[in-house]
Structure 1
Amino acid sequence: MNNQQEVTAIHHSIVDSTMAIIAGLFLIEQINKNSAKVFIHDGIKIDIDKDLIVLGLKMNLKDSLIEDFGESDGLN
C-alpha cells in the first residue's frame, strides 16, 4: 500500500468513526424525544438503531460526496 492509499484508509476510518458518533447522538435525541428507539415522520414510526443510522449516513452522505467530488475531496 502506498502512502496515499494509507492516508485515504485512515481518512475513511475517521469519517466512519465520526458518523458513528453522529448516529449515537441522533439515536439519543430520538429516544429522549419519542421515549423509544423510533424515528417519527408524518405520523409514521420507523424503528431505528445506531447501525441503521450509520448505513443511512453512509448511503446518503459519504458515498454521494465521494461520487461527486472524488475520494479525497469528498471525505474532506
Structure 2
Amino acid sequence: MKFLIQATVFNKELFGKAVFVEGHDVDGDKWDELYLVNMVEAERLVLVDISGRQRSLHIENFEGNDGMKLTVLTKGDKN
C-alpha cells in the first residue's frame, strides 16, 4: 500500500482574483464568462458572476485536453 499520494488541488492564491472561464463542464454546460473567485477549496472553486450569482466548479472540469480553461486576469488585461 502506498502511504504517499500526489494530489492536484486549486492554488489558494486564486481567492479574490478575477478569472475568465471558458469551455464545457462535465455536465455539458457552456462557460464563457468573467468571475470573481469567492472561495478556494482543495478541489472546488466558488465563483461569483457579474450579477452576484454563485457557481461552483470542481477540479475535474479542468483535467485532460478537453478540459475547461481558466485565465487569471491582471490589471491592464482587456477582453
Greater fraction of residues in strand: 2
Q: TM-score, normalised by structure 2?
A: 0.28
* TM-score, normalised with respect to structure 1: 0.29
RCO higher in 1 or 2 (8 Å CA, sep ≥ 6)?
2
The answer to which structure has the higher helix fraction is 1
